[in-house]
Structures are given as structure tokens and as C-alpha cells.
Chains A and B, each alone.
Chain A
Amino acid sequence: MCSLALFPPPLPSGHTTLCESNNELLSGASSEDHRLIQVSQNKLGINTAFLDHSETLWMRSAAAWRDGGFTGLLNEITNSHTEDIFQILKIWCTLALLQWVSSFHGSLFPHLTLSSEDMIAEFSQVLNWPDCVVRAFAWHPHTDKFAVALLDDSIKIYNPKSATTPTLKHRLQRSVAAVQWKPLCASALAVACQNCLLVWHVDPCSLSTRPSSGCAQVLSHPGHSPVTSIAWSPSGSLLVSASPMDTAMMVWDVAAENCVPLQRVGGGGVTFLSWSPDGSHVLASTPSLLFRVWETRMWTCERWPCVKGRCQSGCWSPDGSRLLFTVQGETVIYALTFTDAPGKVYTAAAVVADLSETTFNTQDGDITVGGEIQSLAWDPKGERLAVLLKGLVQSDRPPVIAVFKTRTSPIFELLPCGFVQGEPGAEPRLMQFHPNFQHGALLTVCWSTGRITHVPFYFLSAGVPHFGLNGSPSLPRPQERPSDFANQSLFTEMIS
């Protein structure tokens, strides 16, 4: 098993990780050579431009119902002070029963009592989602452009080849929890919002900086909100969406705007989805101690109960045969293997890495790293695994990204690579690997300061044969030095 103790110590403060080359992480004191995007932290919406206006309770209730659903209505009524007391009492009496029923339901599934913002924050892959400037990030699967969802509910699309950065705004685009580009398509971007799903069609040739809301398809289903996770099928034909409030996972045929709910009893909702890169499986985790792995041919599922907590995050190997996942409350990474061969049934997941707290002695004093895991990201070649560790505020343990080297064949191996650190005071919030970086892997990290940095890992891929023209990296050729780690005890999978 691989643990944090084998890692090289974290950088001294003031240094930032630049890239990996020659099998080691290089750091520097400045970040001049990074491509960075400064995002404004301004959350001034249009609402502040208007004066407060008093409406009757009914009008406000109707608006609250429209905006926030049932819970919004209850909040509106409880927060109203000015109306005559009898009216409120009447409504109170009629709603008390309903509230009691919903609270009973909530006692079974505690997450149902959360407000939708809190729920997104709870189940999002982004660390500290509510005050995070960049709320979601997505690379386009085929080209060098990406979409960034910001705190003010707008989405910006950056493309190095074009001067315009379209800003997407929509009436229904609130509390964006996730964005993802449609594979095998240049323009479609799915956005998981508070009350619905939006699929934007952003013409890459258009010069408009503000596409109209007519470019967006609105996909909604009663009871299916807030949407916390979405996943496109790798073939681009289907989109699945999940909501912690809905026990059904929706499979959308986006072009036809119809959906098939895949309902299963138990779990109380679906929080996180991840489609395997070969398209054969979908991971769906629930708010309770259970996650499911769907097979996408006939849409049947396997149930995987967890012992300690819910499944927090997961990622697939490029060939879709191996699933790594983490469980809330534990500091380890588990692996599950899926094979087509019949007769080989796995009944338990194997622990492949231990990320419990480890103290490093550096020149700045002792630095403690480790703890619970927020999210996992595996690069598309299957050679680097980035793990975002939550950290703890009270014990002065900052969030940090730990990167492993991985190998999937002939046996599955995890080797330590190092920590990715930003400027002093900047905490990593969100990370994603570039889907087709030529010279290795490119990790994009969104920081709490609003910066987005790209950290390249230059290496020669072991699995892909190298052609003469485009196989060699342009930077100093890194050499694999497995002998460095030969004397350490590492995780190696037993071949049975």
C-alpha cells in the first residue's frame, strides 16, 4: 500500500509547484510562466440595484414557491413579520402537518432537511463550494477550450484560438454545481443548476460574447432538483443527471429532451456520477452508506454497501476496468476491478492507498498533511492520479493536492509523485486533468484566490506506442527511474 510517508516533503512556503519533469516536481518562487486567469470575486447581482419592495404575503409566498419550492415557501412564511397574525396562523396550521411528515422523512435521510444550496455544498466535488469563486470547471474533451462557472452564476468559455470569451447567463442558471462538455460535439455544454439542467449550444465560430438564452435547452423533471452531478456518455449520446432529493437517476436523450428515470429503492438520492471512459459503467453514489455501479448496456446495477460513510468521490481507469473511490470519514482509497470474464466476482474493494495524517520535518518546521479526501482525478492516460485532501481548519492542516504515479498494466501500481502547492494562502478547490495533453498529463487547479493554474506533468507514456512525429515531448525528456522506489514498500496488486 502506498502512504503519504513515502512522499517527498511539501515545499517551503512561498514556493509553488510548476511542473513535473525528469520524474520530479519542479517548484519556483514566482508564477510568471503560468497561464492564469484572474476571476473577479464580485458577487454583485442585479438584485442590489433595486429598492426593497413590500408585497403581500401571498405574492411573496407564490414567488418563494416558484423560486425555492416547498422549503422556500416555508422559509418565506416563517420569516414574515409584518402580516396580520391570523393569516400566518392559518397557514401555519395547514403546513404544520406537512412539515411534520417531511421531518419524519428527513429523519430517515438527514440530507433531505438541508436547503438546496447546502445540499450542493455538501455533495459537490468542489471543496468549500459556497464561497468558492470558481464553482465548476470543465475542459472540452477534444480541443483546448474550457468552461468556468463563477460565483455570480455566469459561465465563461475560454478558448486560446479565439479572442472572444462568451459569457453564458440564464434565468434558471443558479447555483451551478457541475459543468461538462458533450463528447463528440463542438458546442454543447451541460450545466447542472439548482432547479434544472441546462444544455448550452455555444457556436464556436460565433463572435457573440453573450449568447442568448435561446441557445440553451432546459431539461427539468419534477422532483429532480437540485442537480449536483452530471455525466455525458463517452459516445455523446446520453446524459445522466443526479439529484440528492430524487431516488431516480435520469438518463436524458438531450436532443429529444426526454428522460428515462432509473429508479432504485434505497439510498435516498444520488449525489455523484462518473461514467467510465469506455462507456460501459456508471458510478452512482448515494447520500447513505451505499453506492451503485450501473452497467450501461441494459441499465442494471450492482449495489456496493460501504461500512463507514457514503462514497465521496470516484474515478475510472482509462479502459474502464478499474474504479478508485473514497469514502467519507476514511482516509484511504479503495479500488474495484470489473472484468468481462464470468465467474470472477469481487466481493470487497481493496485498499490501495492510505492518506492518513503524516508529519514532515521541513526547514519551516513540522508540516502535517493528510486526512479525508474531497475528490479524485485520474489522467486520461492512466499514469497520474491527483487526490484533493480536505485538510482541517482548526488543526492548521491546509487542503493540498497529492499526486500519485499509477500504472494499470501488467499489474496495478501506485507510486508517490509529490504535492502540488500554490501561492501562500491559496487553497486548492477544484482540479481536473486535460483530456488530451500530448506530452503527459496536465492538471488544472482552481484555487481559492480565484486563480486557475495548469500544472503539466511531462513523461513518456508507457502504454501508448510512440510514433516518430508526435510521440516525443518537447521538453527535456524525462526518464523513468523506477530504481529510486525499488526499496520502498509499495502497493502492488496480487495477481490471483
Chain B
Amino acid sequence: MFSAQQSCWFVRKVICWRAAASIAWAVLLLPPTTAAFIILSRFSILHPFQWISECLSLLTSASAIFSFILLGGVIIIVGFLNLEYYTVIPNIACSKIALLGQLLHPRQFLSSLVHCIMGIIVAWCCAVTIGGRYETLGYPCVESDGSPEMCLNEYHLVLLLAGAFVGFSHSLLGVIHNMNYVSFHTVQRYKYLRFKGSLPLVVKCSATQALYSVRNYIVIYFFLGYIPKTWMCKTLNLHLNSSLHSLDTIAGLLDLCLIYHLWISATFLLFTWYITLVLFRIFVTEVYSFPVQSSFTEDSHQCLPKVITEKQPMILKFLALQDLALLSQHAPLRRSEVFSLSQPGGHPHNWNAISKECLSLLSDLTQRLIVYHDTVATNGRAKPLSTGSERKTSSDTSVSGDDPFTPKSTPLMKTPASVFTRSVVGGPQSPLTAPFTPDLDSPFASPALRRLTAPVGQCSPWHDTVQSPHIMRRGPKLWSTSTDSHVNGSPQLSPASVPSPKQEVSKPSLLAQFLQNRKEQVKNFLAKRVLIMYLFNKLPEASSQALFADSQAHIWALEGLSYLVQASFSEDRFGVVQTTLPSILSSMLVLQEAVDRHFKLPHASSKPVRSSGTMGDCHYKTLRFALRATLKTAIYRITTTFGDHLSTVQMSAEHRKRLQQFLEYKE
């Protein structure tokens, strides 16, 4: 993934530097963190002067500097992993099996391994720093027969293994809580203030997470501790000191001092890693100001209208949309560039490119919602469609080409996955996890949904379904507004033409029917097994979250469009916005209808869940609510600005009726 992105100027010139700056800051923050760790780990209330002087001498010792270099190396690796694994669109697992698939993915396995090793390194540094009984792995001891030997220092081993365990659990929890997801904030603040604001949360999270990890580790060590112990003894030819009692007993593990040291080491480890993550998030989501137009042609690919249409990398598109939303609100000078005409020719290229991209984003979301709504029956379960056979026939018809209805309107049914496919875009996933991404995993989900989320790279399955008359037919029936000629300029399907493709669809071939029956039988058989049900059952809300996973882009598109339209009322001298106003309004109204319908589905909760204080960003869980609110505000922004002038805008009767509701403040 990384090599593929190298080609992009933005990643090379901006993202890499931002990541480097965040890593540099994280390394610079290491000395104070380490000092705090040393002071806390050697804490002794009875000898305060000795405690302080010991800490000071330790901070200046050679071993401290060596471990500091090691820790710096660990931070750099963590920073690189952040850069490599980050995503702006969260990867939401819709069932237990999908989550399992993500956890067992080779890429994830590699990351866990690296985290484990880094955990051991950090734990070794901690052991050296704490000193005392933790310092070395082996120590000279006298056996019962009186001969001097090297014995295994179990305290050291326990600490090292704790580091490995915490690193491993950190990487697993990272997948479960979507820790690699980078969200953008609505409130813009300077980096220092954002960092300062998030510091208490980082401390709290690392302390609590360390507590849980240490608890789990102690339980595991109690049962399985003898395995690494004997293995260590065997490979390093060390002996167990029989005079000391071993640590994998209740008495050995109930040592409060040991537990405190384990906890403080784990806290230190998690704190440094979380700080690196937080700094990376803050730096990478910083606003980047793209020029709207450039006087030099070689820079034109860096201008907003060009950048905003690019599919890859996602971070570039997101930052461009964020910049659009901000410029439309705050920058009158840059707005005037958006409304300006090209010098020879007098075309509003900037506005056309921007509005076209925003509108296509909105219509993509609308289509996605319609397909989802069609797939999910009103009772919240998948409809028992015989889609398998239907798909076959429909693809047949489209290939044969004699059907007049299907191929013409293909661009209308542009797949939602075409713009933001969770499984392909710069995320950490690779083809192996792709089949486990939303909804695919459930055997009870209908194939239409599968098609929805299928990676666009393997273009063929979707390509077939795109032309499916089945969906096309349903369009005008349920969603009279969805096939809107304003948006795409495609001919609208007349209701009269609907019955004709039905006959073709209604006679599936014998083989297909047989296969379908077998599939149903297998499904029924599997559905009775509890474990299978547990693994494959959909997590509540997850599919809804997955549907809106990339909605931050839509929110910005809505904000950008509505603010630009609002500003055009007084600033647009050439009237370039007027030409697109009908399509903007209609696409917003269609989306509004689709979103309303989605929220009326039984499983879609009407209120956001309160985010708990974890390091994993829960922003994606509330995106759909934010989108709903932004959409309404955007329409109101346009209607309050234009008021009664909107009556002169060309629009279908249904849209006019709906717009009237907004004009009367009744929505």
C-alpha cells in the first residue's frame, strides 16, 4: 500500500513530513516521561532524600541513556506502524466472524508480533531502570549441594513477558476499537492546545488499560507461567532456585510491590505509545490549505478542484474536502476564486469541478442507502430474495443488449463502493480481509448487499449487478426521486416500461433453482448451531455504522456546497452557482428522503451512544447522526438565504412540495 501511495505528491510532501514531525515530538517527549516513570517506579515514602538522589543519579547513568536510545527506536517504529496502518475510513466488522478474520489476518499478525517484540524491549528498559531484583535475567546462586551456578531471575522474566503481553493486547485492542482510525474534529484548534487537551485522557486511558492488562496477564501467568519458565531454563541452561518460591503461585503473585511495578511499567509502555498515536492523529488531521487555482500549469494538479476529485489516497480527498468546507465558511477571497471564470473561454471550471464532485458524493450515498433499504426488509432482517437466479438472468439480459432499459442508465447506479470502497482504499486491509468486511460474512445477508460491499477492484460482480433491471425497476417505484434526471442527465424510466423485464426475471433456470434450494438447506442447517449463530449474527448497529463509515466526506461536501450557495447570493457575480442550484437542491432532498428512511428502519437507533473514554476513536459511531443534522442544516441554509426566490428554480413537483416544508420551517 505504501509503495503504491509513494507516487502521490501529497503523501510524499505532506503526510510523510507530518508523520515525521509527530514522531520527532514523541521522541522529544520521551525524557520527561521517562523521568516521571523513574520517580514513580522507585517511589519510597520512608526515604525521600535517598529516593530523589537515586533517581537523579540513575537519570544521568549510562544505562539510562542506552535504554533511552532503545525507547526512542521503539517510538520510531510505533510511529511508522501508525503511518502504515492508519485509515480515515474505519473498518467496521459487522459480525464476530468478521472481527475474528481481522484479528487473524497475516498483516495484523505481523503487527502483533512487532508489538510483542517492542513490548519486550520496553519492559527490558523498565526492568533495568527499576533495578533491584528485576535487573538481570540470571544471577549467581548456590545450589543445595554447594556448587555455584547461574539461576533464573523469575522477576525479570515476569516483567519481560508482561511487556510482551501488554504489547500484544494493545495490538489486538487496536483492531477491536479501531485505534488506527483517524477522525477529523469539527472544532479546529492549534496543535499544542489539542495535545494539551487530550493529555489527561491519555494518562487515564493508559493507566486503566494497564490495570486490565496486568490483571489478565497475572491470571494467564498463574496458569501457564511454567511453560516460558522451563523453556528459558532449558535454552539458556539456567537453574531454578529452589530456595525461593516460584512466582506462578498465588502467594508469589500476590506480591503488591511486584503488581505495582508491573502496572507502572505497563502504564509507561502504553503511555508512550498512545502519545505517539495522539500526536500522529493531531498532525495528520491538521488543516491543509490547497490553492483554488494556480497561475502555473505545473502546479495545477495540486489545486483544490483537481485534488478533490482524486480517489487515492483517501487522506488527500478528506483534507481537500475539509479545506473546501472551511474556505466556504471563512475565506471570502478564496470563495471568489471558486466563483471565478476561466480566463480564455469564460467557463466556471473551478465551481463545476467542485460541485460535480460533491454532488456525485451525495448521489453515491443516496444510492447506497437505497440499495441497503431495498435489501433489508422492514422487520430488520434480510429479505428472502431469490437474487441468485435473478442476478444471473439479469446479467444475461444486459449482455444480450436487446433490453432497452438497462444499459443506458448505468452511470446512475454507480456503486457506492466505487468512490469509497472500504476494502480497497488506503486502509490496512488487503484482499484477505475484504471478504470479511461489512455484511458479507453473514450467510443470511442477501447477495445484493454482498454486491454492495464487494471490492471494486474485482469489478466484474458489481458490473453485472449494476445493470440489473431488478434494482433499476425498483428505483422509480419506491424512490420516485432517485432516478432524477437533474443529477445525471439520464433518461428517466417510465413506469409503463416496468412490466416487460419482469417476465424474463420470473423464470429462473432449473440449475439455479436447485442451487438456491441447496443453499437454503445449508443455511437452515447452519442456523441451528449455536456457535455458528454466535459468530455470524450481525452485531447491532454495525451495518448502519458501516454504511456511514465515510460520511465525514459527505458532511464536508454538504457544508461546502451549502455555504458556497449561501455566499453566492451576494458574491457570485457571474451567476455560475445558479446553473447548478436545481441539481444541488434535488440531490440534497433525495438524500434527505433516503436518510429519513434509513433512520426509520427498526434496527437503526435514533440516538447516539455515549462514547466511553477509550483511546479508540468512536467518532465513526456518531457520523450518521452528524450527517442527518448537517443535511437538514444545509437545506435550511439554502432556503433561508434564497427564500421565495426558490420558487423560480426549476424542480419537480414533489421536490417543490418538500422544499415548501423547509421554507415554512416544518421539517
The 8 Å CB contact of A257, one of B187, B610, B665, is B610
Cβ contact within 8 Å between B633 and A237: yes
The contact string, 1 if C-beta is below 8 Å from chain A, for chain B 345-367, is: 00000000000000000000000
The contact string, 1 if C-beta is below 8 Å from chain B, for chain A 197-208, is: 000000011000
The 8 Å CB contact of B330, one of A185, A297, A300, is A297
B residues 624-667 near A (Cβ < 8 Å) are: 625-626, 628-630, 632-633, 636-637, 640, 664-667
Report the separation of the CA atoms of residues A254 and B648 in the bound assembly, to the nearest whole angstrom: 34
Question: By CB atoms of chain B within 10 A, which of A140, A186, A214, A300 has the most?
Answer: A186
A residues 226-257 near B (Cβ < 8 Å) are: 235-238, 251, 253-257
With A184-B636, A185-B636, A204-B666: A256-B188 Cβ-Cβ less than 8 Å: no
Specify which chain B residues have a CB less than 8 angstroms from the CB of A257 in the assembled complex: 607-608, 610-611, 622, 625
Report the separation of the CA atoms of residues A214 and B611 in the bound assembly, to the nearest whole angstrom: 19
* Interface assignment of B197: CB less than 8 Å from any CB of chain A: yes
The 8 Å CB contact of B633, one of A184, A214, A251, A300, is A184
The contact string, 1 if C-beta is below 8 Å from chain A, for chain B 182-201, is: 00011111100100010000
* Interface assignment of B105: CB less than 8 Å from any CB of chain A: no
Report the separation of the CA atoms of residues A190 and B623 in the bound assembly, to the nearest whole angstrom: 21
Specify which chain B residues have a CB less than 8 angstroms from the CB of A143 in the assembled complex: 664-665
* Interface assignment of A59: CB less than 8 Å from any CB of chain B: no
With A251-B187, A254-B629, A257-B608: A184-B640 Cβ-Cβ less than 8 Å: yes
Specify which chain B residues have a CB less than 8 angstroms from the CB of A236 in the assembled complex: 633, 636-637
Report the separation of the CA atoms of residues A204 and B611 in the bound assembly, to the nearest whole angstrom: 30
* Interface assignment of B336: CB less than 8 Å from any CB of chain A: no
Cβ contact within 8 Å between B329 and A260: no
Min C-beta distance of B345 to chain A, whole Å: 34
Cβ contact within 8 Å between B628 and A260: no
Report the separation of the CA atoms of residues A237 and B619 in the bound assembly, to the nearest whole angstrom: 16
Specify which chain B residues have a CB less than 8 angstroms from the CB of A300 in the assembled complex: 190
Min C-beta distance of A464 to chain B, whole Å: 13
With A235-B329, A251-B187, A298-B190: A184-B637 Cβ-Cβ less than 8 Å: yes
The 8 Å CB contact of A260, one of B197, B330, B559, B632, is B197
Report the separation of the CA atoms of residues A257 and B186 in the bound assembly, to the nearest whole angstrom: 12
* Interface assignment of A362: CB less than 8 Å from any CB of chain B: no
A residues 163-199 near B (Cβ < 8 Å) are: 184-187
Cβ contact within 8 Å between B626 and A256: yes
Specify which chain A residues have a CB less than 8 angstroms from the CB of B186 in the assembled complex: 237-238, 253
Specify which chain B residues have a CB less than 8 angstroms from the CB of A251 in the assembled complex: 187
* Interface assignment of A320: CB less than 8 Å from any CB of chain B: no
Report the separation of the CA atoms of residues A461 and B666 in the bound assembly, to the nearest whole angstrom: 29
The 8 Å CB contact of B189, one of A237, A256, A258, A298, is A298
Cβ contact within 8 Å between B640 and A255: no
Specify which chain A residues have a CB less than 8 angstroms from the CB of B625 in the assembled complex: 255-257
Min C-beta distance of A281 to chain B, whole Å: 13
Cβ contact within 8 Å between B637 and A255: no
- B: contact size bracket: 20 to 34
Cβ contact within 8 Å between B626 and A253: yes
Specify which chain A residues have a CB less than 8 angstroms from the CB of B629 in the assembled complex: 185, 254-255
Cβ contact within 8 Å between B665 and A256: no
Report the separation of the CA atoms of residues A142 and B664 in the bound assembly, to the nearest whole angstrom: 9
Report the separation of the CA atoms of residues A184 and B563 in the bound assembly, to the nearest whole angstrom: 12
Min C-beta distance of A411 to chain B, whole Å: 24
The 8 Å CB contact of A238, one of B187, B610, B623, B637, is B187
Cβ contact within 8 Å between B632 and A185: yes
Cβ contact within 8 Å between B188 and A299: yes
Question: By CB atoms of chain B within 10 A, which of A204, A235, A256, A300 has the most?
Answer: A256
Specify which chain A residues have a CB less than 8 angstroms from the CB of B188 in the assembled complex: 297-299
Specify which chain B residues have a CB less than 8 angstroms from the CB of A187 in the assembled complex: 667
Min C-beta distance of A140 to chain B, whole Å: 8
Cβ contact within 8 Å between B632 and A256: no
Question: By CB atoms of chain A within 10 A, which of B186, B330, B559, B606 has the most?
Answer: B186
Report the separation of the CA atoms of residues A143 and B661 in the bound assembly, to the nearest whole angstrom: 13
Question: What's the tally of chain A residues with a CB closer than 8 Å to chain B?
Answer: 29
Taking CB as reference atom, which chain B residue is nearest A436?
B640
The 8 Å CB contact of B187, one of A205, A235, A260, is A260
Specify which chain B residues have a CB less than 8 angstroms from the CB of A255 in the assembled complex: 608, 622, 625-626, 628-630
Report the separation of the CA atoms of residues A226 and B155 in the bound assembly, to the nearest whole angstrom: 51
Cβ contact within 8 Å between A263 and B197: yes
The contact string, 1 if C-beta is below 8 Å from chain B, for chain A 295-307, is: 0011110000000
Min C-beta distance of A57 to chain B, whole Å: 32
Question: By CB atoms of chain A within 10 A, which of B185, B187, B197, B667 has the most?
Answer: B187
Cβ contact within 8 Å between B197 and A261: yes
Report the separation of the CA atoms of residues A255 and B625 in the bound assembly, to the nearest whole angstrom: 5
Report the separation of the CA atoms of residues A185 and B666 in the bound assembly, to the nearest whole angstrom: 9
Min C-beta distance of B75 to chain A, whole Å: 27
* Interface assignment of A217: CB less than 8 Å from any CB of chain B: yes
Specify which chain A residues have a CB less than 8 angstroms from the CB of B611 in the assembled complex: 257-258
Taking CB as reference atom, which chain B residue is nearest A261?
B197
Report the separation of the CA atoms of residues A217 and B605 in the bound assembly, to the nearest whole angstrom: 13
Report the separation of the CA atoms of residues A238 and B640 in the bound assembly, to the nearest whole angstrom: 19
Report the separation of the CA atoms of residues A78 and B241 in the bound assembly, to the nearest whole angstrom: 60
Taking CB as reference atom, which chain A residue is nearest B621?
A256
Question: By CB atoms of chain B within 10 A, which of A217, A258, A300 has the most?
Answer: A258
Cβ contact within 8 Å between B665 and A142: yes
B residues 601-624 near A (Cβ < 8 Å) are: 606-608, 610-611, 619, 622-623
Taking CB as reference atom, which chain B residue is nearest A256?
B622
Specify which chain B residues have a CB less than 8 angstroms from the CB of A235 in the assembled complex: 329, 633, 637
A residues 279-320 near B (Cβ < 8 Å) are: 297-300
Specify which chain B residues have a CB less than 8 angstroms from the CB of A253 in the assembled complex: 186-187, 626
Report the separation of the CA atoms of residues A465 and B580 in the bound assembly, to the nearest whole angstrom: 28
Report the separation of the CA atoms of residues A238 and B185 in the bound assembly, to the nearest whole angstrom: 12
Report the separation of the CA atoms of residues A205 and B665 in the bound assembly, to the nearest whole angstrom: 10
Specify which chain B residues have a CB less than 8 angstroms from the CB of A142 in the assembled complex: 640, 665
The 8 Å CB contact of B607, one of A186, A217, A258, A261, is A217
Min C-beta distance of B333 to chain A, whole Å: 12
Report the separation of the CA atoms of residues A204 and B629 in the bound assembly, to the nearest whole angstrom: 16
Taking CB as reference atom, which chain B residue is nearest A144?
B665
Report the separation of the CA atoms of residues A308 and B633 in the bound assembly, to the nearest whole angstrom: 42
Min C-beta distance of A40 to chain B, whole Å: 29
With A205-B666, A255-B622, A256-B608: A237-B185 Cβ-Cβ less than 8 Å: no
Specify which chain A residues have a CB less than 8 angstroms from the CB of B636 in the assembled complex: 184-186, 236
Taking CB as reference atom, which chain A residue is nearest B188?
A298
Cβ contact within 8 Å between B633 and A299: no
Min C-beta distance of A218 to chain B, whole Å: 9
Specify which chain B residues have a CB less than 8 angstroms from the CB of A204 in the assembled complex: 665-667
Taking CB as reference atom, which chain A residue is nearest B329?
A235
Nearest 9 A/B pairs, CB to CB:
A256-B622, A255-B629, A184-B636, A186-B665, A255-B625, A255-B626, A143-B665, A260-B187, A184-B633
Q: What are 10 sample pairs from A and B whose C-beta atoms fall under 8 A apart? A: A236-B633, A236-B636, A238-B186, A254-B629, A255-B622, A255-B630, A256-B608, A256-B619, A261-B197, A300-B190
* A184-B637, A238-B186, A258-B611 known, 20 other contacts, Cβ within 8 Å: A184-B640, A186-B667, A204-B665, A204-B667, A235-B637, A236-B637, A237-B633, A238-B187, A254-B629, A255-B608, A255-B625, A256-B619, A256-B626, A257-B622, A258-B622, A260-B187, A298-B188, A299-B187, A299-B188, A299-B189
